Amino acid sequence: MDVKLNFTTFSGHDVDTTTHEGGTFHAQDGATITMVGTVIANNGAAGTPMECTSANGGLFLGNNNLAADTNCPGVIGVATFVDPVLADNDGLTLTHALLEGSNAINSYIGIDCPPTDQRGVARPIGGACDLGAYESSSLGISSGVTVSKTAISVGEGGATDTYTVVLTSQPTSDVTITITDDAQCAANAESLTFTSENWNMAQTVTVSAVDDVNLEGEHACTITHVVSSADENYASITLANISGTVSDDEVASSTEELLDNGGFEVAGISAGLPTNWTVQNPSGDKRVCPPNINNLYGGLCAFKFTGSTTDASKLTQNVDLTAHTFSAGDALTVSAYVKGNNPTAKIKVTLFVYYTGNATPSKTNLTIRRNATFTQHSLPVYTLSNGDISQIKLVFTHQSSAGTLWLDDVSLIHTIPAIVSRDDAMGLPTAPETHDGFRDNN
């Protein structure tokens, strides 16, 4: 006699080699036992399980079965989380329920499972039928939400980032995940909805930075999620926030000194000639390091112009442009500390800027009359019209017929303005071609 066992559950038959000669199922004398989708569970015997035995030509056939005895046909594993209690599980007959986490849930490989379980519950509830006589409402794994990332990186006006969200089990009711961004990050979706049909299809969220005009540097943003569903397994789930790092496309202004040896502390080929400077009248004008600190503004040395009847005394530095980059809108600011001992003493300061391809320089200048004590003077700020610079030159011309002028702590500051990412950002005005003025500080 042949026997067919389709989607049946057997539990608690404690049969092993130490207590029995035959198994839970025994095929003998040419009989065939066919098992498909059958669960043999909770065999508590201490010895080797005996669940499928045969003799005298008996035969087992089948597939998709769970059993502890590998002699059973088509065994795909040992059954787990099968309720050992034969109970009223809302059917016409008592059944062994599949508990959450059971490997029998959603495990049948095939399309020919029965349309209902032993209780009359429609199969399948998940993506595949459960093994045994009981179709569970669970998918065999804990209900959960998988978010692919915990951190993202985005940039204002630039890089975006993405992450995916997917459920770990089929819900009994739609699951909605509400997405909340903040003032620094924007998500492309306000919510995601997962149904019993698309629960295992990952949905992608794209996050971009909010491109504001605030100078913030690298800063943070947060994406939060709230899960809601009539499925109680999902309604109680709490998701962690996603932390975002936002790069700023606003750039703070920066400055750099373009002059070398502006304090005249370093001597050149002789003590009187400061390195990096050219002196036109070295016999009368020179670097000095006097013991009288009243003739110094800072450091140990200064530059001294000696009064003469000529207008030939000049001090010049050609700026080394090798390590510097310029752009339109950058500003150049010249300042120096000047002191004189004669009311008629004066000095003219000129900044020359040569643009590539133009032999005629742009310039700004200022004539400074002497002060009895060191006083800082500044040229009008010069704004570059473009960044293609071939030469920058700073010249001090002594214009006194008598008296002495001391010059110290000369500076030429290159200012790179802040970058603001907005269409209506106003550029800085371009400096006039020339500027002549007198500043009398008597």
State residue 283's pLDDT score.
73
State residue 381's pLDDT score.
95
State residue 308's pLDDT score.
65
Are the C-beta atoms of 354 and 384 separated by less than 8 Å?
no
**Cα angle for residues 348, 302, 338 (degrees, 5° grid):** 35
Tell me the C-alpha distance between 363 and 351, whole Å: 5
Residue 223 amino acid letter: I
Give Cα separations from 134 to 65, 87, 117, 130, 169 (angstroms): 14, 12, 6, 7, 18
CATH of 256-439, one of 2.60.120.260, 2.30.30.60, 3.40.50.620, 3.30.70.20: 2.60.120.260
Q: Is pLDDT of 218 > 70?
A: yes
Q: Is pLDDT of 1 > 80?
A: no
Secondary structure letter of residue 245 according to DSSP: E
Percent of the chain with pLDDT over 70: 91
Looking at mean pLDDT, say which of 22-26, 104-108, 324-328 comes out highest.
324-328
Question: 427 falls in which pLDDT band (50, 70, 90)?
Answer: very low
Q: What is the pLDDT of residues 353-411, one digit of tens each?
A: 999 999 999 999 998 887 889 999 999 999 999 999 999 999 999 887 777 889 999 99
Tell me the C-alpha distance between 356 and 359, whole Å: 8
State residue 115's pLDDT score.
93
SS3 state at 180: strand
CATH for the stretch 145-247: 2.60.40.10
Q: Is pLDDT of 250 > 90?
A: no
Q: What is the pLDDT of residues 303-323, one digit of tens each?
A: 999 866 565 689 999 999 999
Which pairing describes strands 39-41 and 9-11: parallel, antiparallel, or unpaired?
A: parallel
Cis bond leading into 124, ω under 30°?
yes
**Cα angle for residues 85, 90, 96 (degrees, 5° grid):** 25
Tell me the C-alpha distance between 15 and 30, whole Å: 23
SS3 state at 438: strand
Question: 248 falls in which pLDDT band (50, 70, 90)?
Answer: confident
Q: Across residues 122-149, what is the average pLDDT?
A: 81
Q: Is pLDDT of 424 > 60?
A: no
- What is the domain partition of the chain in residue ranges? 1-141, 145-247, 256-439
Q: What is the pLDDT of residues 61-107, one digit of tens each?
A: 999 999 998 999 999 999 988 999 999 988 889 999 988 888 899 89
Whether the model pTM is above 0.85: no
